[in-house]
Amino acid sequence: MSDTGIGNYNRAFALSFAITSLLSALLVVLKEQNEDTVLAWMKAATGHHWITHGVLVVVVFILLGWLLAQTKLGSRLTGNGLSAVISGSVVLSGVVIAGYFI
């Protein structure tokens, strides 16, 4: 394995951001499409679906970051490669969310 100089936790949490951001966008579609089940559960869990959404996003980001740090997933990514993954996730999750509500 080549050392790209990124560092284990940087790689892990950057990838965790990319994955969590996309999962958050998919959760938007899922909860809006399933108001009686998913959205209702999210409202019941904390009193407001958006609070539940926020808690899930933060918990998944931290847990996934920690888990990915235990693996070598993406260990060959350079700084530019990691930047592309981050940017791709920002754009794609934005397109999914905006595209759903348009």
Tokens of 84: 């592309």
Would you count residue 57 as binding other proteins (CB under 8 A)?
yes
Would you count residue 97 as binding other proteins (CB under 8 A)?
yes
Would you count residue 75 as binding other proteins (CB under 8 A)?
no
Cα–Cα distance measured from residue 88 to residue 51, given in angstroms and rounded to the nearest whole number: 26
User: Burial level of 49, CB count in 10 A (0-12/13-18/19+)?
Assistant: buried
Instruction: Report in angstroms how near the CB of residue 101 gets to other proteins at its nearest.
Output: 5
| Phi-psi category of residue 73: left, alpha or beta, with phi > 0 → left and psi -120 to 50 → alpha | beta
Enter the DSSP assignment of 38.
I
Looking from the CA of 19 toward its CB, the CA atoms found within 13 Å total 18
Identified binder of other proteins from the candidate list 37, 40, 44, 51, rule CB under 8 A: 51
Which range touches other proteins (CB under 8 A), out of 34-42, 66-74, 81-89? 81-89
Q: Which spans of this chain sit near other proteins (rule: CB under 8 A)?
A: 4-7, 9-10, 13-14, 17, 20-21, 24-25, 28, 47-48, 50-51, 53-54, 57-58, 61, 78-80, 82-83, 86-87, 89-90, 93-94, 97-98, 101-102
